[in-house]
Structure formats: C-alpha cells, structure tokens
Structure 1
C-alpha cells in the first residue's frame, strides 16, 4: 500500500497499520485476511486469523467511520437473497462458521463477528426475515450470548430459535466433519428462544433448594415479560412451575408484580420497557464509569476495591474493567483491544463513542459507584423479599429472618438514597 502512495497516517486511521518504536508496522502480519463487506458488497474492513497458536486468534480492523461491527453482518451481501426468499436467517459467531456453512450449501447464513449480537443487526435482519436461528458455539460464552441475543431479536419483532451443535463443536467443525444433512437436522431441531433462556437460567441456579428456585424465577421473569401475549406467558409459567415444583399461582403473581413495575400492559401486548428501566440504569452507570477511567486511567486504583465488592452486572464490562486495571497508566486503545475478546472490543468501541459530561470527574466517579451500589442492594432486597413471601406461604418459620433481612436492606437503601422506588 505504501508503494501505491498510501500515507502511513491513513493506514493507521483505517486500522491496517499501527505505530511502534521503529515506525509503522502491519497489524495483520502472519494472518489469513478475510475481507468484510457491507450489505451492498463494499469492503469496509478486514478480519485476520492467525496461522499458529498466538493470540488473539482473530483480529478485526479497528472501528472506523465505515466499519462498525454493531451495524454489520458478515456475509449479508451474499446471503441477502436467500434470507429474503426463505424468510429465515441463520446467525453464527465467526467468519469461518459462515464460510464453511455457505460452502456446504446453507445460503442464508451470516455471522455477527463475535458473540455480541446487537440491536442494529437485529433491525437489519427484521427487514428481510421473519425468523432467526442463532447457532453460536456450545461453550459457556456462546450459550450466554445466545440468551442475550434472543431478547434483542424478539424486541425487533423476530421469531427466535436456538440451534445447539452436538458434542460441543462449533458449526464450522461440525459441518466439515458430518456434512450438509447432519447440520440441516441441527437447524430443524432448533429450540424455541424463550425455552432456551429458561433452560439456561435454571442450569445457572441450584434448584435443589428453595433459595435457588426463587433466584431462578426472579431471573426468568424478564424473559416472560417479553412474551407477545398472556397466553404465551401463561404456558411458560405453567411449564416452569412443573419443572421447579412451585405453585403456578405464586409464579403468576410474581409475573404480574414484575409486569406492573415494568409498565407491561395487561391487555396482551407488552410495551417496550425503556432501556433505563431494564438493564439500562446499571449499564449506563457501568459504561459511564468505564468511559471516565478510559479518559483518566490513573483513577482505576481509587475505585478498584469498591468495584470488586460491588461487581459489574455486565460480564463483558467486568472484563473490560479488569483488563484496563491491569494495564493501568500504560493503557492505550490498541493495547487494550489486543487483550479483549470480540464482545469486549465491541463494548469498548461503543463506550469510547460516549461524551463525558463536563464537571468534577471525581464526583462523577462517585456518582457511578453510588448507582452501582444501589442496584446491588436492590437486587439483594428483592431476593430476600421473594424468599420471605415463599416461606410465609408454606408456613416455614424462616420467613421471619428473611423478612427482617429484606427490611434491613430496605432501610439501608432508604438511608443511603432516600425513599425512591422502595
């Protein structure tokens, strides 16, 4: 490119080169290069896969005004006609998954270039299809990403199913080993999206005891609120009650309480819960704190201990915070990107696009930490309140201790934040 007259500063801005001690160097050296095109077929970025065991395994072009992974789906330019014709899109994680499936004859496959499926990608597909099947890797990260993706796709108005690749293999490996017909069976057996979310949530909780059952129900309620009508929600509640051996009426009552808190219409159609009312308040505080620390990494030491106690609700943001603290004042965007997975890289690009409000940065940091503390306390309050209700209904004497604990947390919230929401 230099021989063709491209200036190194332009290559750096395009994410193809980086500046080192000895000048500019090729960021994609020793990698197989995969062009990334937009829906119109224009090359807007590149992905590179290593040929050895070095890390990161995949490297993408840095975010530019042309290349934004949240707004792109790899292979959409080729798959567009097949998706529109079939009314269905299959979404996989990586380039090689999509390439191998197209080679095997699955023309309606696109890749989200990592596990972070976005609202923008959902809207792209919603214009072309009625249904989306997610076929992410079967590892823990892939399954968690599938849980999140179901909600995002359903919010866009898509029907959603989840295809699980047997034996923990990824789609690329499976289709090359077993062929077209075997993978077609995988897609045909894809599970309903909400059923998958419920199953995964139950797996994350110890439902052998009552506390685990209560926690599972609390975590499943947001998925039930995404149902398009009360009939669908009631069916999921009935099956959930059978699985957890909990009275169906108790779960239905908690569902109604959650619906009232979230603004759900009882006439059938749910209203979209405002972002700041769902996971938004906590995520806004977490992202704003990270944006501040990216601007002033020296503040990491001041808040590290408190953040470890409070924790991040979002695991991707938690990873970003940990890596940032490890780099400390030696942090640069390139160094940070090199130690993040795809989901965290996407989050980093989104956070860097935020504008910091003017004013006292120390006060801003404390406000973010204060909001994170509050949400942690409110979550603890809700857990103990639900336990107290359950114990009281079953005449279990432990309801009194749970009631006292929930009241203690409620008083602490009131003392710290005033009598808001509780």
Structure 2
C-alpha cells in the first residue's frame, strides 16, 4: 500500500534500516524495563518515566500524554516534519536512494524558498568572516575580538565575522551572486528601500552566526563594539528562525550533551564560546530573550541535567531564579553555578583560568534549594539582628518548608540553624517549619484552588492514582481482537469474513479496514510497517496503545469466537435501543399500528440476542 507518492520499498527500507531504540535514543535517555525500554517523554513534562519503546515491535507509546507510533511518526513529531519529510530525513541518514514527488507545487516552492534563504545566510556568514580576517576595514573588529580573549582558532570555529559600516555591503554581494532579493528580504538579511533597492540589516557589528540543529546558518546576532544600544541585535523571527525554539551552539554541543546527559546553559554567545575554549563542550546559550517552555523541552529531550551558568550580578541571578522553576517543571535536574564577586563567566575565566572555571564553577554548581537560600539573602541586611530573624523565618517558609524530602528539609534547616544559632535554636526552627507545613497541607487539602500536578502520570507506585475507567466488554473484545489480527494474517482473514468493518468503535473499524488492505497487498505481519500505512496521528496512537497494552495470552479459536460474539451482541443491543427510541417516538405521534410493528421487530432481535 503506497503512502501518498512515496514508494513502498523506500518506506520498508527506511523501517528496516533504522532501529527505533537507536533513533529515539538520540533524543531520549532510555533504560531497560522488562521487554521494553523506558524514559522521560520528550513530548510532555513528567518526573516519572511513562514513555515506552518496544524493540521487538519497533513502536513507542507514552502512557502519560498518549503519543505513540513507529520510527517515522517519532521523527515527524520530534522534528515537526511531514510524513514525507520524515521519510526523506531517515532515508538520507541511511544513504537510501530515493526518488518521489511528495510535495504539491506550493510545497515544492516553499521548500525551494527555504533552501535559497539558507544559502543566503551561509553566504553571508562566509562573507562577514572573510571580510573581518582579510581586509583593512575589518581589522579593527578582529583586533577587538582578540583584545577580548578570542583566539583566531575560536573565531574560525564559530565563524565570527564583521558587518562593515556600509548601507549595502551584503545587499550588493547578494545581488552580484544573483540571489533572489525578495527572498533575502523575507529571510531578514536585507530590507527593501522605499526608493528601490535593498539595504543591509546589520551594520558595524561583530557577527555571530546562529545555526539550527543541523548546523545550517538561519540567523545572526550582531554585537556592537561601542556603547550603542542594543548591545546585541538578533535577526528578527522568520520562517527559519524562532527565538523561542533555538539555542545557540546546540548543533555543536549535541554530541557532548548526549555523552554526559548534561547541558551548561549560558546567557550570551561570548560566554558559550569562551566556555568552549575552556573545554566545556556541552555549552549552549539563549537568544538574548527569556527562556521558554520550548527551550526547556528541547533540553529535556537531550539531557537529564542543566547547569545554569548566568552572570553573577543581580540581573543574572534574578534571571537564573526566574528560569529555575520552568526547568524543574520540565523534569530536569537543575544545578546553579555560583560566580563570586558579581563576575560573569567570561570575566571569571579571564581572571582565574579555564581549569578553575570547570572544576569550581561548573562542577561546583549548587542544587536549587541552596541557590534559593543564597538568592534570598540578597534581600536582607544580615548585619542587623532584626533582618537576620526576618531572613530565617522567610527562608523556612519560602524554601525549606517546601522541600519534599524530609532528609533535605533537615539538612538545610541544620545549616540555617548552625549559621544563625544566635537568633534561634534548631528545635525552634524545626517547630516553626512543621507549623508552616501543616498550614500548607491544609490549604492543599481543603482549598478551592489546589494546583493540579503538571506531571500527569506516576509510575513509581508510591502515590495512589485514580483507577482507570473499566472498558465495556465489547470494547475490550475489539481491542484484543485487533491485537491478534495485527500479529496473525489468518485471524485477520477470519475476522474479515465474519465481521468485516462492523466494529462498534469507529476508530477500531478504521484500524481493521487498514489492516485488511495491508494484508491484501501481500505484506507479512509487522506492527511498525502496518502503522506506517495509517498516516493518521489518532489511529497511530490507538494502534500503539493496543500493541503495548493488549496481549495474545490465552488466545485460541474459542476465545476468538467469544470476542466476535461479544462484538455482535453489542451491535445487536445498539440496534434494539435505537428501535426502542423509534417505537416511543411513533407511539407518541399516535401511530399505534406503526409502534406495534416496531415492537414485533424488537422482540425478534431480542430473541436473536438470547440465542447468541
């Protein structure tokens, strides 16, 4: 069964070449869990892993948010691709030759435009870099970078360049190379003049290319060398560049991130580059804007821990405090690097060297509770006894009492009592903490506005969860039957003869119809290959749920017959209910004879039902 215009043999080759565990393992840290692999879902926030991958069936299923499917569907979801784009991506990775027309003329045009815009950015990055390193006009920019501690090797590695103080430097070169200028404007490399022609977006700035996950240049950050504002100017958002979804240097850091399962997050581009030179090769940076949930989810997909390494001044620490909650909510283990004397990472490395930066700052990062206590201190004058007492009480209420672990609460309470023993005893602090926790628990228990946990599934067995709703007998029968049909062609043929597509659930009927067509094409039972024919998110989720939760244990001809009888019985019951409603309607209209005829029909159906 062809999927659109993509030949079956290409889909089959892609599915055979790519092991789902290897593909998903590039995005999710998986560990063995019985016959499955398990990890934190990359599509929603959770603390307890509910994302399952079945190596035998080559499918995945999250029992938290419901996503599921085969390896092509996973790439679609994780990368935002269409089905055809996902197949093409996997085929290219496997060096599988492919030829098909999967795009409409409009789609083909959009893809061509995207490729042209990327080519324009790649050309601009090379031009800016060459200009800075090879012209007299660019030498002052090169000298500036060198004075800031950027080696020539770093400048080349990150392809840093310079946009001269001219109105049409880049525009003129793009026109000479016959780049389509309206597209270059669409990509935010140039701007159109009202009088005709184009001018550059960036002038007299150090240029940092911003790349996507594939390493392609999709935008720029331009830094001034003087006091002009803004200090950093990013490309505006385009179809290629979404600030809320891109992390600087992620493409280069990805390998080290996967190796260590850790990301070191900086505020600025220069900090990332300097950290790279210090051997921190899992360093990434924000886009000069607030961290977003998309950023947090991107990091969670690739790492278990994030070290926030922001500037040591008030603004940097406030930003770290603000972003901490979002990263924790995403299910990340967060540590915060503490830079002394209000230094930023660049200054610290310049003053103390790269080795101390790695060992004392990055490796010495503190847990969130410690950071919150240190951050809170900034609001109190601890030279004053009254202020000390206010700090102690605030620290207990806002930080220590909120810690879930009893051991963690005791640890930080002892630290606090040790430092402020002259203000209050450990026992007094402990009593106050217990009172605060009791008040908090009462509010959670009886309040009208209790927070709903963002983690929608628990799998550790420690907390009671609402029992799942029991499925009707016919629904269970249909699911069991579909499970066996997906694994056994003969059973599918038997069901097709007996039931056809007359399943009670519409989605089950659709799965059966696709399965009949799949086997009619001569395919052997293969869950992943069958699901690739569906190309419907809802059906793929349902199929993956059935394949993950049902089993063929105890299946025999009698059980199969019982399943089909159960499905028939429910369909008969539904028909009787509809006729009962029709009889009442006809009777109310005054047609006693018509109502009697329907009543006779109902009796006949009930007798058939008893005989089943």
Q: Which TM-score band applies after superposition, normalised by the shorter structure?
A: 0.5 to 0.7
Residue deviations 1:275-300, cap 9 Å, x none? xxxxxxxxxxxxxxxxxxxxxxxxxx
CA distance in 1, matches of 2:263, 2:192: 40
Distance 1:27 1:263 in 2: 56
Structure 1 contact 17–26 (Cα < 8 Å) conserved: yes
In the alignment, structure 1 residue 173 sits paired with structure 2 residue 341: no
1:49 maps to what in 2?
223
Of the three residues 239, 242, 258, the one matched with 1:65 is 239
SS in 1 for 2:326: helix
In 2, the alpha carbon distance for the partners of 1:217 and 1:120 equals 36
User: Which residue is equivalent to 1:201?
Assistant: 376
TM-score computed with the length of structure 1 as normaliser: 0.55
2-side partners of 1:237 and 1:177: how far apart?
Answer: 35
Matched-pair contact (CA < 8 Å) for 1:221–1:258 = no
The answer to whether structure 1 residue 257 and structure 2 residue 439 are counterparts is: yes
Cα distance, 1:28 vs. partner? 1.2
Give the secondary-structure state (helix, strand or coil) at the position aligned to 2:357: helix
Retained in 2: the 8 A contact 1:206–1:213? no
**Partner SS for 2:219:** strand
Q: 2:300 matched to 1:90?
A: no
1:51 CA displacement: 2.2
Q: Could you tell me which of 340, 363, 366 is aligned with 1:191?
A: 366
Structure 1 residues 203-282: aligned runs within 5 Å: 203-205=378-380, 208=384, 227=403, 229-233=405-409, 235-236=411-412, 239-240=415-416, 243=420, 245=424, 247-261=429-443, 271-272=453-454
Superposition RMSD in Å: 3.5
SS in 2 for 1:127: helix
Superposition map of 1:5-404 within 5 A? 5-6=178-179, 10-18=183-191, 24-114=198-288, 116-184=290-358, 185-205=360-380, 208=384, 227=403, 229-233=405-409, 235-236=411-412, 239-240=415-416, 243=420, 245=424, 247-261=429-443, 271-272=453-454
Max Rg structure? 2
Contact (CA 8 Å) 1:75, 1:111: kept in 2 or not? Answer: yes
Measure, in 1, the Cα distance between the counterparts of 2:250 and 2:361. 22
Distance in structure 2 (CA, Å) of the matches to 1:108 and 1:46: 21
Q: Which runs of 5+ in 1 are unaligned?
A: 265-269, 275-422
Q: Distance in 2 between matches of 1:219 and 1:26?
A: 52
Query: How many Å apart are 1:144 and its aligned residue?
Result: 0.2
Give 1:107 deviation, angstroms.
0.8
1:27/1:233 CA distance change after superposition, 3 Å:
farther
Q: How far is 1:105 from its partner?
A: 1.7
How far 1:256 moved relative to its partner? 4.0
CA distance in 2, matches of 1:39, 1:114: 18
- Aligned residue for 2:253, secondary structure, equals helix
The 3-state SS of whatever aligns with 1:191 is: coil
Q: Separation in 2 of the partners of 1:119 and 1:220?
A: 29
* Separation of aligned partners in 2, 1:16 and 1:259: 55
Asked whether the 8 Å contact 1:74–1:113 carries over to 2, the reply is yes
Describe the superposition over 1:309-333 as per-residue Cα deviations: whole angstroms up to 9, x where unpaired.
xxxxxxxxxxxxxxxxxxxxxxxxx
- 2:246–2:295 CA contact under 8 A, matched in 1: yes
Deviation at residue 98 of structure 1 after TM alignment:
0.6
TM-superposed deviation, 1:116: 2.5
Higher relative CO (CA 8 A, sep ≥ 6), structure 1 or 2?
2
Change (3 A) 1:259 1:273: farther
SS at match of 1:272: coil
Q: Distance in 2 between matches of 1:181 and 1:160?
A: 22
Alignment check: 8 A CA contact 2:188 2:235 kept = yes
Deviation at 1:93, TM superposition (A): 0.8
**Alpha-carbon separation, structure 2, partners of 1:129 and 1:197:** 23
Shift of 1:46: 1.0
Structure 1 pair 199/178, CA: closer, same or farther in 2 (3 Å)?
closer
Specify the SS of the correspondent of 2:302. coil
Q: Quote the Cα distance in structure 1 between the aligned partners of 2:180 and 2:208.
A: 23
Q: How far apart are 1:227 and its partner, in Å? A: 4.2
**Equivalent residues of 1:87, 1:131 under 8 A apart:** yes
